[in-house]
Structure 1
């Protein structure tokens, strides 16, 4: 389990910048759309050498997080074209060769896979990822999975005929994967659920139900991450969540939210008094690197609503689209700012 003895532990949301020798960042950012189907042209390395190249990039991400002083690290998601499609496209019942087009979160046409049969895992998808991470660090380790609600919103259903049934089918396969990841060494499992915010009406009906099914039997620390989208792709963010207090009824131990860029009113955290809060205190939408003092101020603001024992310091969202130097500097400020407040609390 994640180290809960340390006050204000630091972590990342999931992704870290992939090296320019590994991915073509122009392709990555093309059309400002996160890929839901395969985007093989993103990779600069030949397919027969790609896995080893991804291993090397993962080691870079691990060492950067360690050097920055982050307590609970990930593999940086170096092997992923997007946060969701690595898992989503590895399932039986999904037609990835004949995609459909739906309206994305930002109202743009988005190409997505078709669900044409019962969803099943062919094999564990991310177990090698977490095993590699576990073998190469002595820190606490976390791995992320796309949440079942979000997966259901990023596919075109031609099999289940009901949006809730589709989400629950995804929840079954996510739960299987999550349990395998814990067995392979994960201390923390995080479900990425940005679409809860984008589709609040459906989320109210069955979002928490799907999350709870996806976390059934999953040991260790569990997190649900909500966000408004990558800062590089979403410039203007609302100042409040359309779906958040409802997660008090989820079985997740922690709720991860953006707060820095949207300047969130943290009073809403009182509705989540039964949860640990993974608080976004790094604004990824600005070129400015926060000082440790700024990070400390944002954490103090969180402490006005959440006791220190229930607060985890993090960036707002994934760092995939940032330049690596800026991402590292921001993580260093995160660790140093948390250390300032930690000293104040223990003095």
Structure 2
């Protein structure tokens, strides 16, 4: 029998200190060559054990084998020059030095497939694997070739689809696309962003998810959130279109933010990964706080479609804090599961 309220994480988890500098987002590797390869595999084993110990139902790789949730994939594509960098505004929030698209982009080889196969050999649990979404990839580059965000996103979608099909063949149960850009460029999301996402999932038989949040707890994001007012209603702009899309699961941020939970009504019928863990704070939620968020979401999401989750990735947190938050997620889900059973 399928478990009610299966728990999951949005993506990244802290890396061990021997692999990369702890509590730092996008930290460089401390190892290289063959040592880095085996170090990444050791990190996958550690993160799998952490999730297992915490009782997480749908496990992930915790993004242990990638330095950055977007650029690690882009590094393996042709047509992008990492030596030729330009400063661009990322998601209308902060400036970053990014690589340049200099020619047609295409996937040269599998990027994460060997890591996925390794993870699959270690566990019988359902695995969710995350990939960057096409629009967020476009927003992380300077385009000197296509000169069209939509055209570049479409080519990225084709490359992502090739990778996703191989990940599915490697035994991944859910493939998630991270699209924080969906909370910023609303017109583009509705005009072509969702169409590109559907191109990325074309032909997949496994479940698919899109993760849309308000970002990691970095200063640029927290400063941006301060400008959003007392209610964050960005989801209203795109949820009606996403509700009609072929995506199976929508993963979003709920706990400790200012998202009015009634926006979930706009995606009724979809499976929803409800972010019940705040990743911007060191404070560990109590199980009751998690349960309260889930109870609120259950007014708008059917119980058999609700997946308790984290708001975003936990890479910048300490391992102790992340561990505590995973345990709180499991315990909070258990409280609500028992209430539903009663």
Q: TM-score w.r.t. structure 1 length?
A: 0.92
Paired with 1:226 and 1:285, the residues of 2 have a C-alpha distance of 15
- RMSD between aligned residues: 1.6
Question: Which residue in the other structure is 1:53 paired with?
Answer: 39
Report the Cα distance in structure 2 between the residues aligned to 1:171 and 1:99, rounded to whole angstroms: 23
How far the C-alpha of 1:106 sits from its partner, in A, is: 5.2
Is 1:134 matched with 2:120? yes
Shift of 1:11: 0.3
Contact 1:211 1:250 (C-alpha < 8 Å) held by counterparts = no
Distance 1:84 1:10 in 2: 24
For the 8 Å contact 2:9–2:60, the answer to whether it is kept is: yes
The farther-off stretch of 177-186 and 280-289 is: 280-289
1:62 aligns with 2:59: no
Other-structure match for 2:16: 19
C-alpha distance in 2, partners of 1:71/1:269?
A: 23
Gaps of 5+ in 1: 30-34
Residues 1:271 and 2:266 are matched in the alignment: yes
Give, in whole Å, the separation in 2 of the partners of 1:25 and 1:275: 36
Give 1:305's match in structure 2, choosing from 297, 300, 305.
Answer: 300
Deviation at 1:114, TM superposition (A): 1.1
Deviation (angstroms), 1:146:
0.2
How far, CA to CA, are the matches of 1:297 and 1:115 in structure 2? 46
Corresponding residue number in structure 2 for 1:259: 254
Q: Distance in 1 between matches of 2:95 and 2:12?
A: 25
- CA deviations 1:56-96 (Å, max 9, x no partner) are 11111000000000000101111111111111110011111
Deviations 1:2-51 (CA, angstroms, capped at 9, x unpaired): xx82111100111100112211247x45xxxxx6xxx7xx1112334111
Secondary structure at the counterpart of residue 17 of structure 2 = coil
TM-score normalised by structure 2 residue count: 0.93
1:147 aligns with 2:133: yes
Q: Which residue of 2 aligns with 1:6?
A: 3
Residue 261 (structure 1) shift: 2.8
Aligned pairs for 1:89-238 (under 5 A) are: 89-105=75-91, 107-233=93-219, 234-236=221-223, 237=225, 238=228
Aligned to 1:293: 288
Aligned length: 333
Pairwise CA distance, 1:132: 1.1
Question: Post-superposition, which runs of at least 4 consecutive aligned residues in structure 1 deviate over 4 A?
Answer: none
Structure 1 CA distance for aligned equivalents of residues 104 and 31 of structure 2: 34
What CA distance in whole angstroms lies between the structure 1 residues aligned with 2:59 and 2:238? 25
Distance 1:118 1:205 in 2: 23
Question: How far is the alpha carbon of 1:244 from its aligned partner?
Answer: 3.2
Take 1:268 and 1:281, find their aligned partners in 2: how far apart are those partners?
Answer: 15
The aligned counterpart of 1:79 is 65
Q: Distance in 2 between matches of 1:259 and 1:312?
A: 12
C-alpha separation in 1, matches of 2:148 and 2:287: 48
Q: Write the mapping of 1:326-341 to structure 2, written as runs, cut at 5 A.
A: 326-341=321-336
1:84 touches 1:151 (CA, 8 Å); kept in 2? Answer: yes
Instruction: Measure, in 2, the Cα distance between the counterparts of 1:50 and 1:244.
Output: 40
Q: Matched residues in 1 for 2:180 and 2:158: separation?
A: 19
Q: Is the 8 A contact 2:22 2:318 kept in 1?
A: no
The 3-state SS of whatever aligns with 2:165 is: helix
Displacement of 1:318 in angstroms is 0.5
